[in-house]
Structure 1
Amino acid sequence: MAYVVIIGTCDTKLQELLFLRDQIKETAGVETFLIDVGRKPVVNKAITIPQAHLLSNHGDGADVSNMPRNELLELMTGCASKAVQDLYRAGLVDGIVSAGGSSGTALAAAVMRDVLPVGLPKLIVSTMASGDTRPVVGETDITLMHSVVDVAGLNPILRDILSNAGASIANMALSHAARRAKKMEDTAAESMKRWRVGITMFGVTTPGVDAIRAHLESNYPVETYVFHAVGTGGRAMERLIREGQLDAIIDLTTTEICDHLGGGVLSAGGGRLDAAVEASLPNIVSLGALDMINFGPRDTVPKKYEDRVIFEHNATVTLVRTSPEQCREIGDFIAEKLKKTKRSDMIEVWIPKGGVSMLAVPGGAFEDSQADKVLFETIKTGLSGSGIKIVEDERDVNDKGFARDIAEALAAKLGLQKGG
């Protein structure tokens, strides 16, 4: 049996939500839980967790009848999150779905992002699905389906779309339930564990990452998870660490820090590097692509950077070389983050003195020995006395030997033997 949670405002969209529920239940072996997050209480036998029940159990019985919209949204998000969390802990969530406009989408997405792990099916039918969806999806795996018409009345178009959504989430939930059952069966085979290693990558560090992956997976019981360091990639890795879905990290490409500090478009935020430190995971950190700040097309580069070395990666991506001053700031950021560890033996910092990216090697567009020196020295000074091992290597970040040695350093921290 698979279980699908439906979240929606039954006071405004009951007809549509019940139709969606019926479409889900047409798939054999799927049961539903309908949670009402509307302002006004609705009585209907199909509602599993009514609004009044939600508020009394998780909202201190608050009166929401005249509550400002933003306060109502925040309260109901919190209440629904607690209700879904209870269901998930009881093993009663294999998928979650919602249908609505901007407020309904914001509420459902917050519940999905904050409560449920990556890998559990999440689907929102939304009027907001055709546009900038980053605030909705974040670093998670939420699937969005554009409603085309508003979720307001069951016309033929909306019926088709809700039918597709119902069939989709039902079958995704069945798949998840089957995988969940298999994982429980496989618990007894823990001796066959494959270590889950997260690796950060950018286009200009891809050869290095490919070499690391090949070496680890061909010599050790390891499976790798590569994260594209475009902001959401870094945040996704941090999230999976906190969810316990990664065992070790090779943070080869820390470039998102440049965008965070330099105003670029691919920032992962100020929490970058935190999760692995907090979890005391084996963590090999390098300086991949710290020579660049990312912007969109050439005409989007801020005027303050006009005197910098600028490289047009393609029609939609323009790179700005980091200055010595910015490299000092980046180095300080990294050192301050890593020094917070309670297990300095779990961290190593590898400095590729031959070039931190394809562009920073001798003769490359971003070659800048002064900026590199400031970066390297700032990190070394900042970590002095921390107990964190620093490896200075004359090779560049994409050198196959450098990649192999980093992979071996991580294997040593995991206590792995080749072929074991």
Structure 2
Amino acid sequence: MADKTILVAGTYDTKDEELGYLAEVIRGQGGCVLTMDVSVLGDPSQPADVSKHAVAEAGGSSIRAAIDSGDENTAMQIMGAGAAAVAQELYRQGRIDGVIVLGGTMGTDLALDLCAALPVGVPKYIVSTVAFSPLMPPERIPADVQMILWAGGLYGLNTICKASLSQAAGAVLGAARAVEPPERDRPLIGMTSFGKTVLRYMVALKPALEARGFEVAVFHATGMGGRAFESLAAQGAFAAVMDFAPQEVSNHLFGGLSAGADRMTNAGRAGIPQLVAPGCYDLVDFTGWQDTPAELKGRETHAHNRLLTSALLNADERRQVAQAVCGKLAAAKAPVAVLLPAGGCNEWDRPGAPLHDGEGLAAFCDEMRAFCPENAVLHDLDCHINDAAFADKALEILDSWIASGVVKTG
């Protein structure tokens, strides 16, 4: 019996055979298929469930306008916007349980928009000739998307590309069957952090928050984790956030592993109360297996592993980070508490530790005090971010918000 429905999307004028094969595999495993044509010039061999005309209209335009633009990039952006809108509405109506999109560079560009429109937890698969390529900037990659390289499949079916296509078809159907969608039976607190070797507050905070009736989701703030955090914040998924590792703001300013320009803004826009601290604000992460970026050469660095290296910011750059953080918080529509641990902001930032810079830390703290917006309350703490006193203060502030009704527990 067919149990889950997968949206199969692509340019049916040029990839009809390959898309048909994906649908055949899904149906052969007992799944249902809903097809969406995102082509512009040609037509599929059989009408799609969602036509290219419906897609273009959902993008606020028409196929004729896409053709008349005379520009394939403009045309595909029309279709990308429409495909995202259609997919989002189909999911809202309960008509699809997952999505798979097939494409080269054009189809992949569209697929990123389509998948980004669906909530975290909805199975999303992209079969692409440029999967895992540096062509895709991190800020465009949806938080929980899956990709597989469409090897040997640029034009027509063969045994090599069928191996990729059949894996992806089985994976998206299996994911749709197995996924446990996020529950909303408890209020959710979103927290940012890194591993326990550098930031440890979550070890104390998670059980304490759960004892207060919250579910806690901790996001690894290395670019994609921040993207997921911001995506959920924009949806209003959190009762409160503990954004204690905003290093991605520093990364975005200085060319590191960015989570996008909107990092540290969506909770405030959504009216979600924010507790904020500067965990690892003083570091910029870059790809460890590449050469050190020219602007970061000559600095103290820490090779976390073969993938990731961190470079230390100087005092002037830390002041820029402070100003950027304060500017983002100034737009918040709900209470903001800033916790400023004067004893250091990561485990390598202690007296005697390899990346400690007391003058740089003092410069950052002074700038935070000078530019902290009026809508935020700044709490100077005479402790390190990994000390028990930091976690205790965060809980004290949260408890006061719960008592005053700022944060809801049910």
User: Do they superpose with TM above 0.5?
Assistant: yes
Partners of 1:160 and 1:249 lie apart in 2 by 43
User: Is 1:209–2:210 an aligned residue pair?
Assistant: no
Distance 1:89 1:24, change over 3 A: same
How many Å separate the matches in 2 of 1:159 and 1:139? 25
SS at match of 1:350: strand
Once residues 377 and 167 of structure 2 are traced to their aligned partners in structure 1, the CA distance between those partners, rounded to angstroms, is 54
Which residue identity is paired with 2:209?
A: L
The residue identity in structure 2 corresponding to 1:311 is: H
Structure 1, unmatched stretches of 5+, are 184-189
Match of 2:260 among 256, 265, 269: 269
Counterpart residue number, 1:249: 241
Give the deviation of 1:299 after TM superposition: 7.3
The answer for the alignment partner of 2:349 in structure 1 is 360
Q: State the alpha-carbon separation in 1 of the partners of residues 295 and 166 from structure 2.
A: 52
Task: Please say if residues 285 and 347 of structure 1, whose CA atoms lie closer than 8 Å, have aligned partners that are also in contact.
Answer: yes
- Counterpart CA distance in 1 for 2:157 and 2:303 is 49
Instruction: Report if the CA contact (8 A) 2:12-2:44 is conserved.
Output: no
Distance 2:71 2:53 in 1: 18
Q: Does 1:403 align with 2:391?
A: yes
Structure 2 match to 1:186: none
Does the Cα contact within 8 Å between 1:194 and 1:222 map onto a contact in 2? yes
Counting aligned pairs with the same residue, the percent is 27
Q: SS at 2:339's partner residue? A: strand
Classify 1:220/1:307 alpha carbon distance in 2 versus 1 (closer, same or farther; 3 Å): same
Secondary structure (helix, strand or coil) at the match of 1:11 reads coil
Any idea what the Cα deviations from partners look like across 1:7-64, whole Å, max 9, x if unmatched? 1111111111112112112233x32211111133425445212224434565335254
The equivalent of 1:74 in structure 2 is 77
Are the aligned partners of 2:52 and 2:63 in contact in 1 as well (CA < 8 Å)? no
One-letter identity of the residue aligned with 1:368: D
Give the Cα separation in 1 of the matches to 2:169 and 2:305.
40
Partners of 1:27 and 1:123 in 2: CA distance? 17
Q: 1:24 matched to which residue of 2? A: 26
| Partner residue in 2 for 1:338 | 329
8 Å CA contact retained: 1:205, 1:397: no
Distance in 2 between residues matched to 1:358 and 1:288, nearest whole Å = 10
Find the aligned partners of 1:319 and 1:61 in 2 and give their Cα distance: 48
For residue 289 of structure 1, the aligned residue among 258, 266, 280 is 280
Q: Which residue of 2 is the match for residue 94 of structure 1? A: 97
Q: Number of residue pairs matched?
A: 401
Look up the match of 1:107. 110
Aligned residue identity for 1:90:
Q
* Cα pair distance change 1:164/1:316, threshold 3 Å: closer
TM-score under structure 2 length normalisation: 0.88
Q: Is the 8 A contact 1:98 1:108 kept in 2?
A: yes
Question: More helix per residue: 1 or 2?
Answer: 1
Return the offset for 1:316.
Answer: 4.1
Q: TM-score, normalised by structure 1?
A: 0.86
Q: Report the RMSD for the aligned CA atoms in angstroms.
A: 2.7
Equivalent position amino acid for 1:259 in 2: N
SS of residue in 2 equivalent to 1:12: coil
Residues 3, 371 of structure 1: alpha-carbon distance in 2 compared, 3 angstrom cutoff? same
Q: In the alignment, is the contact (CA less than 8 A) between 1:41 and 1:52 conserved in 2?
A: no
Structure 2 unaligned spans of 5+: none
Maintained 8 Å contact 1:41/1:50 = no
Aligned pairs for 1:119-198 within 5 A = 119-132=121-134, 134-135=136-137, 138-175=141-178, 193-198=185-190
2 CA distance for matches of 1:156 and 1:293? 44
Match of 1:116 in 2: 118
Pair 1:380 & 2:369 matched = yes
CA deviation after TM superposition for structure 1 residue 413, in Å? 2.0
Q: Deviations over 1:277-326 (max 9, x none)?
A: 11221211001112222233497334554453333434443332221111
Aligned with residue 271 of structure 2, among 280, 290, 297? 280
For residue 202 of structure 2, what is the amino acid of its counterpart?
A: V
